[in-house]
Amino acid sequence: MQVAIGSDHGGIKLKNELIAYFEEQGIAYHDFGTYTNDSVDYPDFARAVAEAVASGKFERGVLCCGTGIGVSIAANKIPGIRAALCHDTFSARMATEHNMANIITLGERVIGPGLARDIVGAWLNAKFAGGRHARRLEKIAALEREIAAGEKR
C-alpha cells in the first residue's frame, strides 16, 4: 500500500508523527508537504493529496490541519475522493468498512499523536464490508457523474 500524506502548518507536527508511524510499520508514503511551520493555505495540500489518490497513484491519503475540517472539505471537492474526518478509532474503522474512505483527515489541535496513530491504524487495517455499502458508494459515484455532467434532478 502507498499512502499520500500532507498538511498545512497547523497539522505539520501530527503529519510528521504519522510519517514516523508509517516508517515503523513499513508503509510506503509520499509527503506532499508542507515542510515548515510557515503559514500556508490548506486547500493547496488537500488538493495535492486528493488528486494523487484520485489518480490511482496512491491507494490512500492522510491529511492534517488544525481541526481536520478544512482539509476534509477541500479534499472532498475532488471527484472520486471520500475523505472522512475521524477523531476516534470507531469512526475510522467505519470510514473504511462502510464508506471505503480513501482519505482520512485529522486535527492536530483536537487529538494527540498516540490517538492519531491508533486512528490511522484502525482505518488502514479495516476491510470494506461490501454488500449494501457498495450500492451506496455507487450512488455517490453516480451523483458525482451527474454533477460533472451538469444534470439536475
Cα–Cα distance measured from residue 34 to residue 150, given in angstroms and rounded to the nearest whole number? 34
Query: b/e string for 67-77 if b means 16 or more Cβ within 10 A?
Result: bbebbbebbbe
Instruction: Check the annotation: does 69 bind a ligand.
Output: yes
Instruction: Check the annotation: does 68 bind a ligand.
Output: yes
Instruction: Check the annotation: does 119 bind a ligand.
Output: no
Instruction: Check the annotation: does 6 bind a ligand.
Output: no
Instruction: Check the annotation: does 10 bind a ligand.
Output: no
Q: What is the CA radius of gyration of the chain?
A: 15
Instruction: Check the annotation: does 114 bind a ligand.
Output: no
CA distances from 94 to 84, 90, 110 (A): 10, 6, 20
Instruction: Check the annotation: does 80 bind a ligand.
Output: no
Instruction: Check the annotation: does 66 bind a ligand.
Output: yes
Q: Provide CB contacts within 8 A for 40, sequence distance 6+.
A: 8, 9, 33, 34
Q: Which of 30, 64, 87, 98 is catalytic?
A: 98
30 included as an active-site residue: no
86 included as an active-site residue: no
CA distances from 123 to 16, 39, 96, 111, 140 (A): 18, 29, 6, 16, 20
Annotated binding-site residues for D-ribulose 5-phosphate read 8-9, 66-70, 99, 109, 132, 136
Annotated binding-site residues read 8-9, 66-70, 99, 109, 132, 136
Give me the active site residues, please: 65, 98
